Amino acid sequence: MSDIANANFEKLPRNYLFAEINRRTEARLQRHPGAPVTRLGVGDVTGPLAPAVIKAMHRAVDELAETSSFKGYGPERGYMFLREAIAANDYKGLGIKPSDIFISEGAICDGGNVSDIFSQDATAGITTPVYPVYLDANIMAGRKIRFISCNESNGWFGDIPSEKTDIIYLCYPNNPTGAAITRERLKEWVDYALKNGSVIVYDGAYEAFIRNPLLPRSIYEIEGAKGCAIELRSFSKTAGFTGVRCAYSVVPEELGKLHSLWAKRQECRFNGVSYITQRGAEAVYSEEGRRQTREAIDYYLGNASVIREPLAGLGLDPVGGENSPYIWARTPNGMPSWDFFDLCLEKAGVVITPGVGFGESGEGHFRVSAFGKRESIAGAMLSLKELILSL
C-alpha cells in the first residue's frame, strides 16, 4: 500500500516535540518513583473554568434535557449568538462582521486546516523558531517552504522577505519566544502582503495576555489587513478551554475566494462545536466572564514574572513573559537545548521545552511556560537557579 500513501508525511520529524518531552518525563518518573516533577514545558492551563462559563454551560445542558429547547446539529460556521458576541467585543470598531467569523474546535486545528484552501504550488513563509503546526501542515501538503529567521538582532519579529512569498504565518504574542510585535513592524508585514498579493495567517491565540496598550491585539488594527489577512483566535488560553475546545477563525469577505473556500471547507469537513461549549464561550464576554478570565490571565502573568526575573538575573536574556505566557531564554554556556532539558529534568525535576524543538534556529534557547501553580513555579525556579549557578 506504500505506493498510495502520502509520502510527504514521511518528511515530518520522527518524534513530535511534545510527545518526546512526555516520553522523557515519564522515563524520569520511572527512574525516580515518587520524586516530584514540575511541568513547565507544555503550555496547558491549570486553573478551573470561570464560574460564569460553568453557569452558562450548566444552563445549556438543562436546555438539552427538554424537547422544546433541545439542539441537534448546529451550524457549521457556529451559532450566531457567539459570532455576534465575538464581532461586538473582540473586533469592536474594526469592521469585522459575524459573517467573517467561523467557530472551530481549536486554533491548532485551524492552523493546520487553513492550508487546505491554498494552492499546493503556493510558497509558505514560516517564521523560525516556530510552533510546529504551521510547518508540519505545509510539509504534509508538499509545499515549498521559505524560512523567515527570528532572532535577537531583529527583535524576534523576522525580516521582510526580499522575494514574493504567497502565504506568511505569523504568531504574536509569539509561541515559543513570547515576543509581542509592535504596530510599526506589523504594518510592514501588511504592506508587504498587499504589495505582493500575499496572505498572512495571523495566529493571535495569546492576544488576551497583552497588557501594553501600544501593542496591536489584532492584525485588523492595521489599515488594509482585511484584504490580506486571516486571523486565528482561541478560547484555550484566554478562558482555559484547552480541555473544552473552542476557537475561531476570521476570514474577511474582503478576501473574496478565500472566504468562500474556507466556508465550503468548513461545511464539507467540519460538523461544528457543541452548543454547550459555544454557550460557555459566549459567557466569556459577559461582565462577569470578562472580569473572571482577566483575573486568571493576570495570575499567569504573575507566574511569568516569577520565571522571568531570575532568568534575567542569571544573564540568560529572557524574552516574553510581559505580554505573553511564555518566556524564552538562552541556555547557560551555550549548552545544546536537549542537553539542558535532560539536565533540568534529571537534576532539578523541572520540565522545560528545548528551543531546538521549534526548529534549528531555536538551538541554544529554551521555553518556559507560566501555566501552573505559583508555589510550584517559585520552587522550580529556585531549583533551576541553583542548577545553573552550579554549572
**pLDDT tens across 322-380, in order?**
999 999 999 999 999 999 999 999 999 999 999 999 999 999 999 999 999 999 999 99
- Please state the separation of Cα 137 from the chain's center in Å: 15
| DSSP secondary structure letter of residue 315 | T
Strands 326-330 and 365-369: antiparallel
Alpha-carbon dihedral angle through residues 253, 198, 267, 144, given to the nearest 10 degrees = 180
Rounded Cα gap, residues 76 and 134, in angstroms: 23
Average pLDDT, stretch 57-73?
97
Strands 326-330 and 229-234: unpaired
Per-residue pLDDT tens digits for 161-183: 999 999 999 999 999 999 999 99
Q: Provide the β-strand partners of residue 148.
A: 127
Average pLDDT, stretch 135-155?
95
Reading the block at residue 172, the C-alpha cell is 504574536
CB contact at 8 A, 90 and 97? no
* Look-up of cell digits 527512574: 31
Which CATH architecture best describes the domain 51-285? 3-Layer(aba) Sandwich (3.40)
Q: Which CATH number fits domain 2-49+289-390: 3.90.950.10, 3.90.1150.10, 3.30.365.10, 3.90.1580.10?
A: 3.90.1150.10
Report in angstroms the alpha-carbon separations of 11 from 89, 137, 346.
41, 11, 31
At 185, is the pLDDT very low, low, confident or very high (cuts 50, 70, 90)? very high
Which residues make Cβ contacts (< 8 Å) with residue 271, sequence separation at least 6? 73, 76
29 pLDDT above the threshold of 90: yes
At 16, is the pLDDT very low, low, confident or very high (cuts 50, 70, 90)? confident
Per-residue pLDDT tens digits for 215-252: 999 999 999 999 999 999 999 999 999 999 999 999 99
Per-residue pLDDT tens digits for 86-132: 999 999 999 999 999 999 999 999 999 999 999 999 999 999 999 99
Quote the pLDDT of residue 2. 66
pTM for the structure as a whole: 0.96
| DSSP secondary structure letter of residue 345 | I
CB contact at 8 A, 293 and 151? no
Q: What are the residue ranges spanned by the domains of the chain?
A: 2-49+289-390, 51-285
